Amino acid sequence: MQYLGVELIKPKAAFFDFSCCEGCQLQIANNENKLLDFISLVEVVNFREILTERNNDYDIAFIEGSITRKDEIDRLKKIREKAKILVAFGTCASFGGINKLKNKFKDIEWVKKEVYGNCPIETNDKVMAVNEVVKVDFYIYGCPVNKSEVEAIVQSIALGREFRYLKHPVCFRCKEKQNICLYEMGKICMGPLTRAGCGARCPSNGNSCIGCRGPAEEPNIEFMKTIMIKNGFTERQIRDKFELFSAFKE
């Protein structure tokens, strides 16, 4: 691979899954028309969904999922020691995701009983995002991640260029697409607070933004809550939206 006429060595990339649905990795595996272009940027040495081989010699580690057990903490720390660059891949890795809702319950033993019944399960007292355990160098937001954004970020990493995250909220993209505001349709939406970069795919299809990409730059959370209340939404509905992915700190 060349960049500005200079031959570059392709960095070795490895994908690892922790507590997650692996939907973000599936986004890459299902990107058939651009998968070869993606692979041309890096040498993929570990990716369970598309490779049978395993190689622990890697430069970039993509971490999908939240951290929920002690053995996951130990495994993540070992990955961090080997990786030159560590990427939190998706909402669960970046914020803790839906798994982190467990932290809202004070009685962890009750949670284990409700979810797993009598099956023995090892678990930590709390769910953590990747950056609560190790240093993270890059974040790729979304549930699931946006394929185009992944390609842009991986290209920036592979070529040693700065990647600039969008700072504005999803609302801006909605306006560009001339979408009808979902608040005018009686729906609660996190678009005014959520970081853009997804192409406003949910609102563009008539569905509310659920805030999976986390907050845009300097979100005015309290003002937005006031707007939600004025539109007739209850405190419970508002709280459920803010807490869903554990991405918004109040």
Q: Please report the domains of the chain, with CATH numbers, ordered by start residue.
A: 2-159 (3.40.50.700), 170-243 (no CATH)
Question: In the prediction, which pLDDT does 114 show?
Answer: 86
What CA–CA distance (Å, rounded) separates 167 from 116? Answer: 40
- Please report the pLDDT score of residue 4 as a whole number: 46
CA 239 – CA 245 distance, rounded (Å): 11
Going residue by residue through the chain, which has 250 residues, state the pLDDT in tens, using 9 for 90 and above. Answer: 544 454 456 889 999 999 999 999 988 888 666 666 777 778 889 998 888 888 889 999 999 999 999 999 999 999 999 999 999 999 999 999 999 998 988 888 888 888 888 888 776 778 999 999 999 999 999 999 988 888 888 888 877 788 889 999 999 999 999 999 999 999 999 999 999 999 999 999 999 999 999 999 989 999 999 999 999 999 999 999 999 999 997 5
DSSP 121-174: ----SS-B-GGGTS--SEEE-BTTB-HHHHHHHHHHHHHT-------SBHHHHH
* pLDDT value of residue 35: 66
Residue 6 and residue 32: Cα distance in Å, rounded?
28
Task: List, in order, residues 6 or more apart from 107 with CB less than 8 Å away.
Answer: none
Q: Are 241 and 210 in contact (CB under 8 A)?
A: yes
pTM as predicted: 0.89
Residue with tokens 């700065």: 162
